[in-house]
Amino acid sequence: METTNKTAKEIYFDVKNNPARKRFGFGNKAVLVNVDPQKAYTATDEFTTAYETDPRQMEYTNELAKKFRALGWPVVWTHVAYMESGEDAGVWATRTNTPDSLQNIKFESRRSEFDDRLEIDRINDVIYTKKMPSAFFETQLQSLLVWHQVDTVIVTGGSTSGCIRATAVDSLSRGYRTIVPEECVADKHESYHYANLTDLSLKYADVLDVEEVFNWLDAQTK
């Protein structure tokens, strides 16, 4: 095993700035999957479970969604919410039971609500309630992607080390080119965030500056 005295952030930027770094690249048509941008994870002034990496994350996410809608491409939002009993969280809910615990994000609670800064089209966008880390797990996402004949999945949201990673791995495993706009994902601690961006970059996805994603979308024709 290789050892180092570098931080996770330093290692990530070494990978990012490597001119020989290979990419999967964009395909022909994409879906935007916004993973759990809900108050439990975004309202840093209200919930201890919330986090912020880039203060413009919601702004960038809204801009991506606008560009997707302009192309007639699908925009998906996911959030987690659970029954009063918490039984639908399964074994994931067995480690702790505090007000901040996952299974205590209840239906219709503030913690389950999407961030107020988001511009969600509740008629034309797709909204899924998920129970586990991946946006693909026991949702209709795979069927939606087949219907729209997409070959590229662009993932935003949080956390980088949890639901973003799980969604990206499932996306690649299903044969999709997977793109993670760096400014559009966040985590509780920079160590987890950058370590997982490194792992995603090396194995499962292209981690790109959001401006590059904007430019690709702008170059597409409806």
DSSP class of 10: H
For residues 11 and 6, what is the distance between their CA atoms, to the nearest angstrom?
A: 6
Terminal alpha carbon distance of the chain: 48
Calculate the CA 86 to chain-centre distance: 23
Query: Between helices 8-16 and 190-199, what is the axis angle to 10°?
Result: 30
To the query of whether residue 184 is one of the catalytic residues in this protein, the response is no
For residues 69 and 30, what is the distance between their CA atoms, to the nearest angstrom?
A: 11
Residue type at 156?
Answer: T
For residues 140 and 42, what is the distance between their CA atoms, to the nearest angstrom?
A: 25
Peptide linkage before 134 cis (omega within 30 of 0): no
For residues 77 and 94, what is the distance between their CA atoms, to the nearest angstrom?
A: 26
Integer-rounded Cα radius of gyration of the chain: 17
Catalytic residue among 93, 155, 163, 210: 163
Which residues are designated catalytic?
A: 163
